[in-house]
Structure 1
Amino acid sequence: MANSTKKEFLELTNKYLDNTASKEEIEVVEAYYDLFSVEPAVLERIAELGLDPLEKRLKDRINIKIKELEERKELPKPVIHSLWYYIARVAVILVFSSVGLYFYSNRTPQPSAMHITAENDIAPGKDKAILTLANGQKIALVDTIDGQVANEQGVVITRKESGQLIYKASTSQKTNSKLSFNTLSTPRGGQFQIQLPDGTKVWLNAASVIKFPTSFSGLAERRVELNGEAYFEVAKVNVKGQGDKAEHRLPFIVNTERQLVEVLGTHFNVNAYSDGKSVKTTLLEGAVRIIIPDLTHNSTVAVVAKSGQFILKPNEQFVLTDKGIHIDRVDAEQAIAWKDGLFTFEAENLESIMQKIAKWYDVDIHFENEELKQKIFSGSFSRFTNVSKVLQKIELTHCARFTIEGRKITVYKY
């Protein structure tokens, strides 16, 4: 962080603690708290920034937020990064999201235009899903008691205290058992975590569905189907070769409506909503092969790769649209911020942002005019706050203003 940015940040924080900050400045500092509320590990080294006089107050505020999340059992497991990774993200909020100090010194603060009351505010989503067994039985995973959920053909399905659903083959399971499938689906306003029979961990975002075998035993590949968004940490499974064939890694394949992702043990995110304009695959660790089964309808893609196969490296994002494909170098952590309890937007258009808000808060979005959809916004907020807080922070940039009526949010020109 540049010295000037750090100095401005310290000045703003001091104003906040002295109760001399404007309403907009308070919003910026609270955005900072929102960011760190899901990253408590950074507190251990915060003194290195020269924030000793502020440390106790910062810790008090952050710990209050952490306690609130823990009481709801919604605190995501923090991912440990370097200190400067977090400071850089704060700098993005302060400087590049149009809520930064530069803007405070160049215009008079204006109050938020949105009218919000306790009656019409909307709470964030939470852990909830529907598990559909092979026999068609549906189990609501909202208030399910910890412990065994089901036992299907020798596969024991349990839910841990953390909320994670775990599949484990019992000792009585037969290797020649008939192949059966389960489906886990999250509604709008829901998310869920599951550990598949092979040990692969999956985080399922709102309005998403994953279908998978109840056991991978005896199969030549591990194949699951996805509609929506999910983050995968694929377990490495080796199988013995037949005859002269050597031991090899059992492939893991994610089927979506428009592509296949083949994995050999890796961490990646797939965003493949059926109502989305694109399919995005982001790699964090390892390697994946993306296969486009049918290129004949899309000459743009066919020119790029006649084989229809693409290899991704860490911190690369594969984007498939009706117009073609492209591979971008990205901050992969940003793509999975949702898993860690954050909304993170970097130069993203308002249409895309509001689609994500709609799915997480289970609301309908209406734009006053089409031009508003192309407005650009950058910022980072906690997902575990009421929708009004998120919208108010967007309003501070004069990007747009909002009204909430029931479960409908209308976007207006500022």
Structure 2
Amino acid sequence: MDQSARAGFIKKFITASFTSEEQEEFVSWVKQASKAELEAAWQLYTELDAGNPDHEAPPITFREALERRLDLADRPARIHRFRWYAAAAVLVATAGLATFFLMNREDKPAEQAAPVVAKIDLPPGGNKATLILSGGRSIALDDIPAGKLAMENGVNIQKNADGQLFYSVTGEAGKSDEPIYNTISTPKGGQYQVSLPDGSMVWLNAASSLSFPVNFTGKERKVSITGEAYFDIKKNKEQPFVVQSGNQEVEVLGTEFNINSYLPGSISTSLLEGSVRVINTDSRQQVVLQPGKQAVLNNQEITTNGFNADNVTSWIRGLFSYTNASLNTVMNDFERWYDVEVVYAGSIPEFDFTGDIPRKLKASQFLEIMSSYPVKFSLEAIGGKQRLTVSAR
């Protein structure tokens, strides 16, 4: 990429109007550029970006990594430099070249780089799910084309071009004495979005399920989940929305919230908008949440606390987002998203990870980012299954 092309890309970068081909060319140039060339690019960026001071800064892990690499600690105007170099790092990380930035190219010997032994590689997860109709028929949603899938009790079930599942009530919708239920479940490495008969939206994360009536006809709209789901509920004061998860119920009128029940014996409910009542169905303990609060049901007791909304909802925005997360927390996400068994050789390395990782990265690219920490990985196929071995270094 010559100087003229770089200048053109930087102008487009500021307005987010660059193409994927231009990004790839810029990434290749950044990988081999000298400090002097990067400084010149930064100078041009700051001049062009002078009227755009409100850009959001990328994750701190990238800024810290670039600070080490470029030795900027004693230079003036560090904040602007961080924005430019960190933005470049995010581009490179997305392209799977994050390791280049997560070590000091001139000062760190190659043998000290954290190894990622990848005898195989794994693609990221995607829109994968199975729909089970009331009669027991199963439909693999990732294999079937868009269009009408079925009709249950006068309710049309369709898959749109974006891969979302829609339930629409027709004028012929029946009012049977007993609700007719459907279940949608995602495997490891899967996610899916569902529009319920009342227009409420549900996002299912990997290794999760949602059971619901094809038509809400009773006094309440009740569904049940396992795993993790994000809800955007249509308001209906006459018919409250209820989510059952293990021994917890969440009563809603209209709101946005996330429920995570991955950990055995623990369920967290995080409220972004509106108001919900969280109920322990065993002890009948109840708490009413306000926006920005999280209820955690653990050991038969509900406790409340604040939460980081960006971290909790990052998965529906295509990110893994962490703030002081343990390696075990990060690897649990990796295991579900890439459908791989994670095992530890020796004790689990202890450190806190803060940063964002795009969910669209391949497994090896995810591990390259994590390998800037005192940990090493070996990804291989054993007996027809994928296994990741994690150990300290």
The alignment's TM-score, normalised by the length of structure 2, stands at 0.75
- Offset at 1:56? 2.8
Where does the alignment leave 5 or more consecutive residues of structure 2 unmatched? 25-51, 74-103
Alignment match of 2:61 (pick from 76, 90, 93): 93
Write the deviation string for residues 202-222 of structure 1: whole angstroms up to 9, x where unpaired: 0000000110011102x0101
Q: Deviations along 1:217-276, whole A, 9 cap, x unmatched?
A: 2x0101101100000000112xxxxxxxxxx43111110113111111000110012x54
Distance, in Å, in 2 between the alignment partners of 1:277 and 1:359 is 18
The residue number in structure 1 matching 2:99 is none
In 2, Cα distance between the equivalents of 1:370 and 1:259?
34
Residue-by-residue CA offset, 1:187-206 (whole Å, 9 max, x unaligned): 11111000111111000000
For 1:65 and 1:283, how far apart are their aligned partners in 2? 40
Q: Which residue of 2 aligns with 1:200?
A: 200
Match of 1:262 in 2: 251
Q: Counterparts of 1:340 and 1:404 in 2: how far apart (Å)?
A: 27
Task: Look up the equivalent residue of 2:240 and give its one-letter code.
Answer: P
Counterparts of 1:10-409 in structure 2, within 5 Å, are 54-56=10-12, 63-64=19-20, 87-88=56-57, 90-95=58-63, 99=65, 101-102=67-68, 105=71, 108-109=107-108, 110-116=112-118, 120-176=120-176, 178-217=178-217, 219-237=218-236, 248-273=237-262, 275-276=263-264, 278-295=266-283, 308-322=285-299, 324-372=301-349, 374-396=350-372, 398-406=373-381, 407-409=386-388
The one-letter amino acid of 1:293's match is: T
C-alpha contact (below 8 Å) 2:285/2:302 kept by paired residues: no
Give the whole-Å Cα distance in 2 for the aligned partners of 1:140 and 1:339. Answer: 21
Give 3-state SS (helix, strand or coil) of 1:99's partner.
helix
Partner secondary structure for residue 227 of structure 2: strand
Asked if 2 retains the 8 angstrom alpha-carbon contact of 1:129 and 1:184, the reply is: yes
The answer to which of 323-332 and 134-143 deviates more is 323-332
Equivalent position of 1:33 in the other structure: none
Gaps spanning 5+ residues in structure 1: where? 1-16, 19-50, 69-82, 238-247, 296-306
Read off the aligned partner of 2:275 and give its amino acid letter: A
CA displacement at 1:168 relative to structure 2: 1.2
Q: Secondary structure at the match of 2:117?
A: coil
Identity level (%)? 34
RMSD: 3.0
How far apart are 1:318 and its partner, in Å?
A: 1.8
The offset of 1:177, in angstroms, is 5.8
Q: Does the aligned pair in 1 maintain the 2:132–2:183 contact within 8 Å?
A: yes
What is the CA deviation profile of residues 143-164 of structure 1, one whole-angstrom value per residue up to 9, with x for unaligned ones? 2111100011211100111111
TM-score for the superposition, normalised by structure 1: 0.71
Distance of 1:293 and 1:200 partners within structure 2: 24
Q: Deviations over 1:273-324 (max 9, x none)?
A: 2x546321111111111111223xxxxxxxxxxx611111112222222385
Deviation at 1:325, TM superposition (A): 4.2
Q: Deviations over 1:364-392 (max 9, x none)?
A: 000112342x4321110110110111111
Tell me: CA distance 1:355–1:66, structure 2 relative to 1, closer, same or farther (3 Å): farther
The amino acid across from 1:402 in the alignment is F
Q: Secondary structure at the match of 1:55?
A: helix
Aligned amino acid, residue 113 of structure 1: P
